[in-house]
Amino acid sequence: MATPLKKTQVSMKVNGADVDGLVEPRLLLVHFLRENLQLTGTHIGCETTHCGACTVDCNGMSVKSCTIFAVQADGSDITTIEGMANADGTLSALQEGFRMMHGLQCGFCTPGMIMRSHRLLKENPNPTEEEIRFGISGNLCRCTGYQNIVKAIQYAAAKINGTEFQEAAE
Amino acid sequence: MNDVTLTREEREAKLEGMGCKRKRVEDIRFTQGKGNYVDDLKLPGMLHGDFVRSPYAHARVKSIDSENALKIPGVLAVITAETLKTVNLAWMPTLAGDVQMVLADGKVLFQGQEVAFVVATDRYAADDGINAVEVEYDELPVLIDAFKSMDPDAPVVREDIKDSKKGAHGPRKHHNHVFEWIVGDKDLTDAAFGKADVTIKQVISYHRTHPATLETCQCVCSFDKVKGELTIWGTFQAPHVIRTVVSLIAKLPEQKIHIISPDIGGGFGNKVGAYPGYICAAVASIVTGKPVKWVEDRMENLMATSFARDYHMTTEIAATKDGRVTGLRVHVLADHGAFDACADPSKWPAGFFNIVTGSYDFPVAYLAVDGVYTNKAPGGVAYRCSFRVTEAAYCIERAMDILAQKLGVDPAEMRLKNFIKAEQFPYHSALGWEYDSGNYHTAMKKAMETVKYAELRAEQATKRAAFKRGETREIMGIGVSFFTEIVGAGPSKNCDILGIAMFDSCEIRLHPTGAGVARMGTKSQGQGHETTWAQIIATEIGIPADNIMVEEGNTDTAPYGLGTYGSRSTPVAGAAIAMAARKIKAKAQMIAAYKLEVHEDDLEWEIDCFRVKGLPEKYLSMKDICWAAYNSPPPGLEPGLEAVSYYDPPNMTYPFGAYICVMDIDIDTGVYKVRRFYALDDCGTRINPMIIEGQVHGGLTEAFAIAMGQEIRYDETGNVMTGSFMDFFMPTAFETPHWETDFTVTPSPHHPIGAKGVGESPNVGGVPCFSNAVNDAYAFLGATHIQMPHDYWRNWKAAKELGAVG
């Protein structure tokens, strides 16, 4: 009990940059991102995989970074919210959609919600409302009641697809 | 100069003032992961603290052995009540006038109670440390059922005050009694019941639930030994109050305490009070000389900090046979848990529960509330609610339905018959409030017309007949609720927190180039203050909202304020903004008069400038006035353009609304589907309709959660049965209904801009609306009152008890 845990070298690509670190095998990926790499946009809301505030994109999948170890992500390609803006620094379609449709309030779930929506639109570029609602059901929001998050994703889908966004009537 | 080529409409639009759906300033950083929440803070040498917590609901602590914990690499200290006693901090005052153990002193009183605080170099080592602290307990009999709390042989929860006959709010009747609070006229009310054609009586319980903000409670405390200064970054909805509390209990001079609330990930009342984690992290920083971070995990959040409700309301209404209410009598058994840690204004032990007469013209009423201790977590916070108003609204809205059912009157008709009429405002309620304004009939009728209420009732009658013929197993419920809130605490004559009047404040400084900063006593937790406060200023003084930066949450720079909760920010701080802006405008008028070489009375205000009356080409824009204030102020007038306002509201505000819910329930499984939910809110003047609608969506979703399943449930030995998001119902996008929002506008007559506040209305009105829909669905099978929360299992059980399923 009194001996420190042996550390392991990990390396991965995060937001396009190669990063590495010497970590305890028990270190969660979310703590590696937030504390070792100072990428604090990824949040922790429950530590039990329920809330999705810690969602990142890992090798083309949505992953809740609070329940995988950094060592499990060794060699992977990760995108966090910090890697989501356009190359020129402007807001991406999803980020813009969340702002235009008032899809966030306290902002705590937003990074995870945007990361999940990003993957959802890759998997299904033109989702129905029901598909969106099901697709983001691993991410909890306490403030918005989801209605405007759905609109934000529809806004982004339209913008990405180059189609016209029609805001649904209340 | 303002651009003369623009039309009035274009100039107004440029300001993005009140009434405009201005996009949020905050979102630029939040959508990029650049918010700044407490846990994002990392200071050099920062340590982490974590709690050893009690596995028992009630037990004597025989010993705490830290020896093995201190051997763990990285563990630096284990703080216990004995440590805290050396600095006189083993107990702390609560906002409700009670005291609360910071760390277990001799015994534990609820599961999850803080027993020891382990300080380590990182959060993993702290976790190792808490697992290695050995605590020996002797279990004691447990008191969970509030209805048994005042039995003669009930276990003594609070040994520290068991012989005390007087509490913070008057005499105590029993060793587990907290207070008795009485309002109204008992004799007149009893007389009304004596004469009544018809009466109803029902125990209506509002179960224990929890605000469960997505970001838990957390802080970083940093004590500078050289300067003797303590800085705390924390999830504080009321940073100035925290500063004063810390000064009083830690005996530190208030100017040497710096409280900073950075971005907050949701509040909902969870982050008003002071918790042991804050005290322990501060003490740990003072002891170690290093910054100490404490971050609550989700289970700790649900088990230990700030539950809400747990109100058991025995409700009676007296009425005439044609359905006119003549009296209301309510007794509340209020379960406060192990310590009375509710965060109400100090003189209000049951908050503003005396709004329980609701939207109805009750000639007489009588209310008694008994607070009791049990072996459950302390709290009783206002979860998206202005101090027990949700409980009151649930109580009266359920009771009105029960009365309607007894008389065979439609619930909406029952409400229309008994509403306070528009011409009765300002209205003095039987329990002592002065309602500022309202137009209830208009709102209710608009709601009924929009949803085609009569058609819905006809459809329900058809379905009920089909059910009785055995053609369908689906039942249909129509829920109606009409709430009146009381928010904007509050006037200094009756509202204070620990002796500090519940005013709020705003300081505006305009800069030479026509920009400025507004500093506030409030603290947004998602409400969008940085956006909406600037809109009020834009309309008041004609500076574009984009040019106004709003700052909150730093007690060194912000004027003293009482913070954001109880829907008080717009009613109180919103007024302070308008008043500060008007002070600036008055000075601006003097400057404009001097520059334009006319008398002040010869000027008139127009959108963004002062014009000389009758000479429309002669004007000075606010932007130019800003420059003049610093460049060439009138002789005898101080340079600069700034003002501060501390606003003491003359009255509360009374938002109201009409909600209607249509729900279909499968009788055999209890599975429900919300077919439609319509919410009409009247919050007076609307500052930003986009944000108002967002608040309503969010509040309705929380109401949906509470009514349909969200509960902090205990077993009989005091184990928390719903301590994670696995068991504690948090609706996802998939089960959350679609919301329809609507509004009427009845401005508050006493508020400078007529605004009333909206954040909590949907929770207050939503819960009874859902519950009434469920009860209405089962009513034709003989149900009178089915207790919340209405999850599938309870729905099925209700049907079973009614004999509707085999």
Q: Annotate A145-170 with three-state secondary structure.
A: CCHHHHHHHHHHHHHHHCCCCCCCCC
Q: For the domain that residue B63 is a member of, what is the CATH number?
A: 3.90.1170.50
- A26-51 CB burial, b ≥16 within 10 A, e <16: ebbbbbbbbbbbebbbbbbbbbebbb
Asked which of B647, B671, B702 is the last residue of a domain, the reply is B647
Q: Which tokens go with B781?
A: 């099978």
Whether B246 and B390 share a structural domain: no
Count of domains observed in chain B: 3
- Best A27, A105, A139, A148 member to test B by mutation, with max B CBs in 10 Å, is A105
Q: Rounded distance, CA B569 to CA B191, Å?
A: 41
Contact call for residues B488 and B757 (beta carbons, < 8 A): yes
What is d(CA B22, CA B756) in angstroms, rounded to the nearest whole number?
Answer: 19
Question: Is residue B247 within a helix (H) or strand (E), and if so which, with residue range?
Answer: helix B239-250
Q: Which amino acid is at B50?
A: D
CA B96, CA B168: separation in Å to the nearest integer? 8
Residues A54/A76, Cβ–Cβ less than 8 Å:
no
In a domain? residue B497: no
Q: Is B760 a catalytic residue?
A: yes
Which residues from chain B sit within 8 angstroms of residue A106, using beta carbons?
213-215, 263-267, 525-526
Dist. CA B707–CA B397, nearest whole Å: 13
User: Is the CB of residue B185 less than 8 Å from the CB of residue B403?
Assistant: no
Shortest CB distance from A145 goes to which of B27, B213, B701? B701
Statement to judge: residues B461 and B601 lie in one domain: no
B570 shares its domain with B677: no
Instruction: Report chain A residues whose CB lies below 8 A from the CB of B690.
Output: 102
Active site residue B609: no
Reported in sequence order, the residue ranges of B283-322 that DSSP labels E, i.e. its strands, are 292-295, 307-319
d(CA B654, CA B40): 38
Residues B136 and B253 in one domain: yes
Q: Do B124 and A1 touch (CB under 8 A)?
A: no
The reply to whether B522 and B432 lie within a common domain is no
Answer whether residue B42 is part of any domain. Answer: yes
Q: Is A21 on the interface with B (CB under 8 A)?
A: no
CA torsion angle B25 B31 B36 B42 (round to 10): -160
pLDDT of residue A146: 98
**A108 in contact with chain B, both atoms CB, cutoff 8 A:** yes
Which residue in chain A is spatially nearest to B132 when comparing CA positions?
A: A1
Is B507 one of the catalytic residues? no
Residues contacting B694, CB < 8 A, separation 6+: A102, A105, A143, A144, A148, B528
Q: Which of A90, A64, A116, A34 is nearest to B122 (CA)?
A: A34
Mutation target among A32, A55, A113, A146 for the B interface, most CBs of B within 10 A = A146
ipTM for the whole complex:
0.98
User: What is the SS3 assignment for B549-605?
Assistant: EEECCECCCCCCCCCCCCCCHHHHHHHHHHHHHHHHHHHHHHHHHHHHCCCHHHEEE
- B727 lies in a domain? yes
**Are the beta carbons of B642 and B509 closer than 8 angstroms?**
yes
Q: Which residues of A touch B128 (CB under 8 A)?
A: 1
- Residue A132, min C-alpha distance to chain B (Å): 8
Do B576 and B479 lie in one domain? The reply is: no
Q: Look up the pTM and report it.
A: 0.97
Q: Both B251 and B319 in a single domain?
A: no
Is A13's Cβ below 8 Å from some Cβ in B? no
> Is residue B145 assigned to a domain?
no
Cα atoms found within 13 Å of the Cα of residue B283, Cβ hemisphere only:
29
CATH of the domain at B345: 3.30.365.10
CB pair distance less than 8 Å for B39 and A145? no
Residues of chain A neighbouring B266 (CB-CB closer than 8 A) = 105-106, 108, 142-143
Query: Beta strand pairing status for A77-79 and B107-108?
Result: unpaired
List, in order, residues 6 or more apart from B279 with CB less than 8 Å away.
Answer: B84, B89, B92, B102, B249
**Residue A95, both tokens:** 């980020």
A107 interface with B at CB cutoff 8 Å? yes
Q: Is residue B188 part of a domain?
A: no
Tokens of B17: 């003032």
B550 and B623 inside one domain: yes
Distance to chain A for B42, nearest Cα, Å: 8
Mutate to test the interface with A, among B31, B210, B727, B738 (most CBs of A within 10 A): B31
Cα Rg of chain A (Å, integer): 17
B280 is catalytic: no
| Residues of chain A neighbouring B33 (CB-CB closer than 8 A) | 39-42, 80-82, 84, 111
Distance from C-alpha of B83 to C-alpha of B604, rounded to nearest angstrom: 66
Angle at B486 between CA B484 and CA B492, to 5 degrees: 160
Could you tell me if residue B556 is inside a domain?
yes
> In terms of CA atoms, which chain A residue is nearest residue B733?
A133
DSSP B350-364: TTTGGGTTTTB--S-
CA distance B487 to B569: 9
DSSP code at position B533: H
Q: Same domain, yes or no, for B477 and B577? A: no
Do the domain assignments include residue B184?
no
Domains observed in chain A:
8-82 (3.10.20.30), 93-161 (1.10.150.120)
Helix (H, G, I), strand (E, B) or coil at B394: helix
CB B166 within 8 A of CB B748: no
Helix, strand, or coil here: B398? helix
CA distance, residue A139 to nearest chain B CA (Å): 7
Catalytic residue among B309, B384, B415, B686: B384
At B26, the amino acid letter reads E
Do residues B588 and B600 make contact, with C-beta atoms less than 8 angstroms apart?
no
pLDDT of residue B1: 46
Summary mean pLDDT of chain A: 96
Give which of B200, B280, B191, B182 is closest to B234, Cα–Cα. Answer: B280
Residues B85 and B233 in one domain: yes
User: How confident is the model at residue B3, as a pLDDT?
Assistant: 59
Test the A interface: residue of B21, B26, B27 with most A CBs within 10 Å: B27
List, in sequence order, every residue forming a beta bridge with B313; answer none if it has no partner: B204, B332
User: Do B280 and B315 belong to one domain?
Assistant: no
Work out how many CB contacts closer than 8 A connect A with B: 189
| Same domain, yes or no: B311 and B287 | no
- What's the rounded mean pLDDT across residues A68-82? 98
Residue in chain B lying closest to A52 (CA): B214
Whether B205 is in a domain gets the answer no
Name the stretches of chain B with pLDDT < 50: 1
Domain boundary among B284, B303, B322: B303
CA distance B730 to A55: 18
Q: Specify the pLDDT at position B466.
A: 98
Residues 6+ apart with CB under 8 A from B580: B506, B507, B508, B518, B643, B644, B645
Confidence of residue A170 (pLDDT cuts 50, 70, 90): low
Phi, psi of B693 (to 5 degrees): -60, -40
Which residue from B229, B219, B54 is spatially nearest to B138, judged by alpha carbons? B54
Whether residue B429 contacts residue B395, with contact meaning beta carbons closer than 8 Å, is answered with no
| Residue in chain A lying closest to B297 (CA) | A46
Of A42, A143, A149, which is closest to B733 when you measure between CB atoms? A149
Range of the domain at B102: 38-140+216-264+271-303
pLDDT tier at A2, thresholds 50, 70, 90: low
Q: Which of A107, A134, A147 sits opposite B263 (nearest CB)?
A: A107
* Contact with chain B for residue A53, Cβ under 8 A: yes
